[in-house]
Structure 1
Amino acid sequence: MRLSILDQAPITRGNKAVDALKKAEELAVLGDELGYHRMWMAEHHAGPDTNVFASSAPEISAAYLTAKTKNIRIGTGGVMMMHYSPLKLAEVFKTLSAYSPGRIDFGVGRAPGGDNYSIYALSEGRQPMTHNMYEKFDAALKLINDEVLEESLYHHTVATPSQVNLPEAWLLGSSGNSAVQAGRMGVGYSFAQFFNGQMTKDHLDLYKRNFQPSAFMEKPEINVSYMVTTAETEEEAEFEATPQDIWRLMFTRGKIGQIMTPEEAHNYPLTEMDRMIIKENRNIHLVGDAKKIATTLQEQQAQYGFDEVMIISNTHSQEKRLNVYRLLAQELL
């Protein structure tokens, strides 16, 4: 099973955005050394009082992180398509791939990656176009592949630089519709289990049944992203996991803040209902010692039939976060 990294560049309590981006660099370097297959940066835009993630320009981070590493694939998980034209997407990722052939991933999502204030600011006050995401992705893929599009808007336009190594292309999703579309377009399918925990074998099989080989991918490829907190002992893992549990709890209630310290989290007044919800969310957030986590991931791979696991871990301490990836590498790589 391939093991990979998904990072949001979290700005934890007491830290700044520049700290979060430096920590993303440290994580990329460590992942490269440990043999992780790929690392993706997410795209998040801040609204009022929601300065939680520093990864607002994942394509810029990808360029920087590729230059800081040697072997690990680097990409976006994902670029939020609604904010960009197909031509811009194509030229950005062709440029990245020209600089780092064979190491770039073009991962895209259909979500906004921010609140309404951010969405309208990114579209300069215009009504965002959300109805044509698959068509936009298809146009970007064709432009990346040096094709001339039939649409009049693009018919006389070429995406430069041309004749570069193609990046791998991936569609993020959590529904049967996105699975079918990813298969028909011949791209990889990435399922964010950490976001809603609703993965089913039917969705993944739907992708495989509809897959058509393309210039971007010869055979179906599925990765699944899990939120993970692990440590040398079960007790320590639980201690480090509590801030992320509370963050998720608050997020579902529309209260978005920075991830607190474990000490703050353990003094946070939780109701019995809160504790019940946190317990139910353990299908989204895997917590335990490394052997337990590795066994769970291997069992789920056998059950669902995916190819690769992407680990996202947002512990407050950077050293504890890096240790999550070290411990999982010892068990799975």
Structure 2
Amino acid sequence: MRLSVLDQAPITTGNTAAGALKKAEELAVLADELGYHRMWMAEHHGTGAFASSAPEVITAHLAAKTNNLRIGTGGVMMMHYSPLKLAEVFKTLSAFSPGRIDFGVGRAPGGDNHSMYALSEGRQPMLNNMYEKLKTALQLINDEVPEDSLYNRTIATPSNIVLPEAWLLGSSGNSAVQAGRMGVGYSFAQFFQGGMTPAILDTYRNNFQPSAFMEKPEINVTYLVTIAETKEEAEFEALPQDIARLSLMKGQIYQTLTPEAAQDYPLTEMDRMMIQENRKIHLVGAAKDVATILQEEQAHYGFDEVMICSIPHSQEKRLNVYRLLAKELM
């Protein structure tokens, strides 16, 4: 199975944002050594829980620290940026690291309303033109003249570079249709709220049209994973992330607790029921058992690649998740 990494540069309790970025670098170096296929950085704004606010900048750094791993964004939140700027940034990245850069984009704000409006300098954000914006960015990256009159009198430099792979993030049939029609990869965020169905992935495949960015349909699916040598240890390490998920469902984002502190967290009976329900999207257990689940998921849905997002409080425990999965699946 092709394995990849999604990282958010989590700032766990008692640690710093600078430390979280350094840990992302450590994870990239390890993933490169283990033979993972790609690593993407997410984009988050207005939170003290994640340090990945500028994934394109982190991409440049990680690409310089690795040799074979594809590096990119999962995704850059395109509502905040001009298609021309997106094209220029990713063409520059690809010029420095040809054949290793991924232009992954999402349609969400990546933050709350305060950060969204601050990023747009107080103007009303344009929320209904995401697919048109992506189409224009792809044309500029490919040195084409865009159809949009605002952008067809300029070029995106540097020109004549090796194209990055292009991916659209999503969790709905609508985004699957658009990813297929544009000839880009489709990345399903199963870790966020679940909801993946064979029909959604088939919709993408059935609408796929080959492009300069991708010759055939490619699907990756991201899972939240906590594994260890034993199921008991994995459950101990997973509880802080379970609590973080509960907080997110209540509209709050907190730094991940230590597993020791999580044991003392006052969970209600309803909280415990919700944690069990969330096990559909948070895979927890011994490495071999979770690897079997991932293999069964791939067989059922037919995706090409699984991306792993893992957020134990300890960096060593987090790195070990990727070591254990590589041992089982690669």
Report if TM-score (shorter chain) is over 0.5.
Answer: yes
Which residue is 2:119 aligned to? Answer: 122
**What is the CA distance between 1:177 and its match in structure 2?**
0.3
Please say if 1:64 is aligned against 2:77. Answer: no
Number of the residue aligned with 2:3: 3
CA deviations on 1:274-306 (whole Å, 9 max, x unpaired) are 100000100110000110011000000000010
Cα displacement string for residues 137-156 of structure 1 (whole angstroms, at most 9, x for unaligned residues):
00000000000123221121
With structure 1 as the length reference, what TM-score do the two structures score? 0.99
What's 1:266 paired with?
263
CA distance in 2, matches of 1:274, 1:236: 21
Match of 1:297 in 2: 294
Which residue of 2 is the match for residue 163 of structure 1?
160
> Percent identity of the aligned residues?
78
Flag structure 2 segments of 5+ consecutive residues without an equivalent: none
SS in 1 for 2:306: strand
Q: In structure 1, which of residues 178, 197, 220 is the aligned counterpart of residue 175 of structure 2?
A: 178
Match of 1:190 in 2: 187
Q: How does 1:97-176 map to 2 (within 5 A)?
A: 97-176=94-173
Tell me, yes or no, if structure 1 residue 324 matches structure 2 residue 324: no
**Which deviates more, 60-69 or 251-260?**
251-260
Q: Post-superposition shift, 1:254?
A: 1.4
1:237 corresponds to 2:222? no
The alpha-carbon deviation at position 202 of structure 1 amounts to 0.3
SS in 2 for 1:283: coil
TM-score (norm 2): 0.99
**Corresponding letter in the other structure for 1:301:** Q
Letter in 2 for 1:28: A
Q: Which residue of 1 aligns with 2:216?
A: 219
Alignment size in residue pairs: 330
Q: How many angstroms apart in 1 are the aligned matches of 2:83 and 2:127?
A: 14
Partner secondary structure for residue 70 of structure 1: coil
Whole-angstrom CA distance in 1 between matches of 2:60 and 2:94: 9
Tell me, in whole angstroms, the C-alpha distance in 2 between the residues paired with 1:205 and 1:305: 9
- Contact 2:5 2:38 (8 Å CA) reproduced: yes
Segment of structure 1 superposing worse, 132-141 or 264-273: 264-273
SS in 1 for 2:214: coil
Aligned to 2:204: 207
Q: CA deviation at 1:256?
A: 1.5
Counterpart residue type for residue 186 of structure 1: G
Q: What secondary structure does 2:221 align onto? A: strand
Q: Is the 8 Å Cα contact of residues 136 and 147 (structure 2) preserved in structure 1?
A: no
* Structure 1 unmatched ranges of 5 or more: none
Contact 2:136 2:148 in 1 (8 A): no
What CA distance in whole angstroms lies between the structure 2 residues aligned with 1:150 and 1:223?
30
Give the whole-Å Cα distance in 2 for the aligned partners of 1:309 and 1:152. Answer: 39
Note if 1:17 corresponds to 2:17.
Answer: yes
| Ranges of 4+ aligned residues in structure 1 off by more than 3 Å | none
Question: Are residue 31 (structure 1) and residue 14 (structure 2) matched?
Answer: no
> Which residue in the other structure is 1:314 paired with?
311
For residue 106 of structure 1, give the secondary structure of its aligned residue in structure 2.
Answer: strand
Q: What residue is the counterpart of 1:44 in the other structure?
A: 44
Aligned equivalents of 2:133, 2:96: Cα separation in 1: 25
